[in-house]
Amino acid sequence: MTLWLMAGLLFTPLAWAVLTLLTDFSRGRLVSWAGILVQVLVSLGLWLAVARDGGFYYGLGGWDAPLGIELRVDGLAVTFVLLTAVVAGACGLHAGAYIDPDKPWHRYFWPLFWFLWSGLNAVWLGGDLFNLYVGLELISLSAVGLVALGGQAGALRASLRYLLAALLGSLAYLLGVALIYGQFGTLSIAGVATWLSDHPVPSGSGMALALMIAGLALKTALFPLHRWLPPAHGIAKSPVSALLSALVVKASFYIAARLWLELGQPIGSLAAAQLIGLLGSAAVVWGSWLACRQQRLKQVVAYSSVAQIGYLFLLFPLTFSVSETVSLQAQQGMTLQVISHALAKAAMFLAAGNLILSVGSNRVDALAGVSRFLPFSLFSFGLAGVSLMSLPPSGGFAAKWLLLQASLGSGQWWWVLVLLAGGLLSAAYIFRIYRASFLESSGTDQFFHPSRSLEVIPLILAMLALGLGLASDQVLTVMALPFEGEGAP
C-alpha cells in the first residue's frame, strides 16, 4: 500500500507533466484536474499512513543509502507533502480559470506546473544531498519558466535575475555537497548525522555546512540576498506568484532547516546561529518597511514574503545549544509558520490577482471603493492578512506564540522584540491596503467581477490559514510522530 502511495506521489506529477505537454491549455486543464485529485488523495493517504504507523525510509530502486537514494518519509515531510497538495492544487484550479487559454504559449503552463510539483515532492521527501540538488534545480528552472511565460521585458528581467540567483545558490549548495562527500564519503544526510554522533567533528566541515546554508539562504531570499524575489514574485501571474511565495522558497528553506537540525549542533557555531537569526530579523524589519512603501499591490505582497521568510530563520539561533523543550518549541513554531505562511500567502496572491483583474490596475490607490463592490475578494485578502499579521486565532499567531516562548525560554529575549515589531510592521502594510479599499471614492460599481470559482479558492485557503491556529496542536502531533528507524515497511 505504502509502495503505491509513494509511487503515486513521485510518479503522478511527472506523468502529468508529460501528458499535459502533449495537449493544449484547455485540455491540459481537464487532465490537470484529474491529476490534482489524484495528488491530493495520494498525499492524504500517505499522511494518514504515516500518522498511523510512523515514518520510514524508502530506498528508491531497491538500493539503500549510501549506495542508492533514500527518501525520508516522516511526519514533517508528509505534512509538507499534504500542504503542497492543498496549496498547489488550489493554485492549479485557480490558474485553470485565471489564465487565458487562447494564448498559444499558455499550453506550456501545465507541464511546468507539474514539474514544479514533482520537484517539491522530491525535496520534501529527499534524504540524499545530491538528489536534493537535482530537486532544487527542477523547482528553480520550472519556476523561472513560469515567471517568464509569455512575459514582457519586465518579466524577463525578473526571471533572469531569479535564474541567476537560483543558479548561484545551487552552485554554492553543490560545492558544500562536494565538500561533504569528500569528507564523509556519503551523500545521505542521515548517514552523515549518524557518523557525527559518535565521532569528533572533522576540520573543514564547517565550510561545507556554511556553503550549503548560504546557497539555500540565497534561494530562500534571506536578507540581504532577497533582492531577486520581489520583482519575480511581483510580476508573475498571480497563481504563479502564489506557488512561488507559498511553496518554492519554502523548499530551499526546508533543506537548510533539515541540515541545521541534523548537523547544526555538531558542526555549527553560536556566532553563525546568531548571525543567521540577525539576518532573519533584519529581513523582517526591512522587508516590512519596504512593503509599506510599495505602490503596487503585488509588490506589497512580495515584500511581505521577504519579511515573513525572516521569521523562519529564527529557527537557527533558537535550536542551537538550547534545552530540548525550547528547541522543540522553535521547530514547531517554524513548521506552523511555514504552513500558515504558505496558505495565507497563496490566498493573498490569488486574491490580489482577482483584485487586479477587477480593478484593472495594480496600484494600491486604485483599490478605493473595492470594499463596497467586491467585498468577497477583499475579505479573502483580509483574512490572509490576519494570519500574516500573526493575530489570533491564525496559524501565524500560533507560530509566533511558540517562537516567543522559545525565545523567552532560551533567554534570547532580543528575538522577542523582533517578533513583536514584525507583527506591528506587517499590520502597517496590511492595514494600508484595507485603508485604501475602504476609501469611498465614487458611488458606482465600475469594477469587473471575476467568477465565483476564482473568488472561492483564495477564501478557502485563507480560512485554512486562519483555522490552523485552532487546530495546531493536532497538526503538531502528527509532525512529532516517532520515527521508525531503518526498516522499510
Partner 1 sequence: MIQALRISAIAIACLMFVAGLAASIWAIAGNPLPESLPQLLSENMSRSGVEHPVTAVLLNFRSYDTLLEIGVLVIAGIAGISMAKTTSLEDPELRTSDSLLYALQRWFVPLMLVLAGYLLWAGADRPGGAFQAGAVLAATGVLMRLGGIPMEFIRPGLLLRLGLALGFTVFLLVALASAIGGDAFLAYPPAMAKTLIVVIESVLTLSIAMVLLALFVSAPVNDAEDPEEGGSS
Partner 2 sequence: MTAPLLYALAGALLCGLGLFGLLCLSHLLRKLLAFNVMGSGVFLVMVGLPQHQGGPDPVPQALVLTGIVVAIAATALAVVLIRRYYHLSGLTTLDAEPTSREGGQE
Partner 3 sequence: MTLNMWMPLFALMTSLMASLVIFVLPEQGYRLRTAVNLGAALVKLGIVAVMVWGVFHGVDYGLSFTMLPGVEFVLKADALSMMFAGLSAVLWFLTTIYAVGYLEDSPNRSRFFGFFSLCVASTMGIALAGNLFTFFLFYEMLTLATYPLVVHRGTEQALRAGRAYVIYTLTGGAVLLLAIAWLQGLVGDLPFREGGHFGDADPALHGSLILIFVLLIAGLGVKAAIFPLHGWLPQAMVAPAPVSALLHAVAVVKAGAFGIVRVVYDIYGIEASAMLGLLEPLAWLAAFTILYGSARALSQVDLKRRLAFSTVSQVSYIILGICLFGPVGATGGLVHLLHQGIMKITLFFCAGNYAETLGIHRIDEMDGAGRRMPGTSLAFTVGAFGMIGAPPLAGFITKWTMGTGALASNMDWVIGVLVLSSLLNAAYFLPILHRLWFREPRGSWPHERQWGRLETSAWLFWPPMLTAAMTVLVGVLASLPFSPLSWAELVVLRAYSS
Identity (one letter) of the amino acid at 207?
M
Q: How far is the CB of 235 from partner 1 (least distance, A)?
A: 4
Cell readout for 204 is 573543514
Task: Say whether residue 207 binds partner 1 (CB under 8 A).
Answer: yes
Q: Check: CB of residue 211 under 8 Å from CB of residue 150.
A: no
Q: Check: CB of residue 217 under 8 Å from CB of residue 225.
A: yes
Backbone phi, then psi, for 391, in 5-degree steps? -100, 150
DSSP state of 126: B
Contacts of 416 (CB under 8 A, 6+ apart): 404, 407, 408
CA atoms of 452 and 17, how far apart (whole Å)? 28
Taking CB under 8 A as the criterion, which residues in 152-171 touch partner 2?
Answer: 152-154, 156-157, 159-161, 163-164, 167-168, 171
| Interacting partner of 157 out of partner 2, partner 3, partner 1, none (Cβ under 5 to 8 A depending on kind) | partner 2
Window of 148-156, 267-275, 313-321, 368-376 that interacts with partner 1 by CB under 8 A: 148-156
DSSP per-residue string spanning 1-33:
-HHHHHHHHHHHHHHHHHHHHTS-HHHHHHHHH
Q: How far is the CB of 90 from partner 3 (least distance, A)?
A: 21
CA atoms of 156 and 459, how far apart (whole Å)? 31
DSSP state of 99: S
Task: Say whether residue 154 binds partner 1 (CB under 8 A).
Answer: yes
CA atoms of 142 and 348, how far apart (whole Å)? 22
**One residue of 398, 418, 454, 464 binding partner 3 per CB under 8 A:** 398
Q: How far is the CB of 334 from partner 3 (least distance, A)?
A: 14
Q: How far is the CB of 240 from partner 2 (least distance, A)?
A: 16
Q: How far is the CB of 429 from partner 3 (least distance, A)?
A: 12
Taking CB under 8 A as the criterion, which residues in 356-395 touch partner 3?
Answer: 371-372, 375, 379, 386, 389, 391-393
Task: Say whether residue 101 binds partner 1 (CB under 8 A).
Answer: no
Task: Say whether residue 127 binds partner 1 (CB under 8 A).
Answer: no
Taking CB under 8 A as the criterion, which residues in 93-132 touch partner 2?
Answer: 130
CA atoms of 79 and 301, how far apart (whole Å)? 25
CA atoms of 9 and 78, how far apart (whole Å)? 11
**One residue of 59, 393, 409, 489 binding partner 1 per CB under 8 A:** 59
Q: How far is the CB of 416 from partner 3 (least distance, A)?
A: 6
Window of 232-240, 255-263, 326-334, 342-350 that interacts with partner 3 by CB under 8 A: 326-334
Window of 17-25, 248-256, 288-296, 442-450 that interacts with partner 2 by CB under 8 A: 288-296
CA atoms of 46 and 48, how far apart (whole Å)? 5
CA atoms of 316 and 220, how far apart (whole Å)? 14
| Interacting partner of 207 out of partner 1, partner 3, partner 2, none (Cβ under 5 to 8 A depending on kind) | partner 1
Task: Say whether residue 182 binds partner 1 (CB under 8 A).
Answer: yes
Q: Check: CB of residue 75 under 8 Å from CB of residue 115.
A: no
Residue with cell string 486562519: 466
Taking CB under 8 A as the criterion, which residues in 161-220 touch partner 2?
Answer: 161, 163-164, 167-168, 171, 174-175, 177-179, 181-182, 185, 187
Number of amino acids touching partner 2 (CB under 8 A): 39
Helix (H, G, I), strand (E, B) or coil at 360: coil
**What angle in degrees, to the nearest 10, is found between the helix axes of 249-259 and 297-312?**
10
Which CB sits closer to partner 2, 38 or 174? 174
Cell readout for 465 is 490559514
| Interacting partner of 458 out of partner 2, partner 1, partner 3, none (Cβ under 5 to 8 A depending on kind) | none
Which CB sits closer to partner 1, 172 or 427? 172
Q: How far is the CB of 289 from partner 2 (least distance, A)?
A: 10
Task: Say whether residue 168 binds partner 1 (CB under 8 A).
Answer: no
Cell readout for 220 is 530562500
Q: Check: CB of residue 250 under 8 Å from CB of residue 308.
A: no
Residue with cell string 522584540: 417
Q: How far is the CB of 208 from partner 1 (least distance, A)?
A: 7
For partner 3, the binding residues (CB under 8 A) are 328-329, 332, 371-372, 375, 379, 386, 389, 391-393, 397-398, 401-402, 404-405, 408-409, 416, 420, 423-424, 427, 431, 434-435, 438-440, 443, 469-470, 472-473, 476
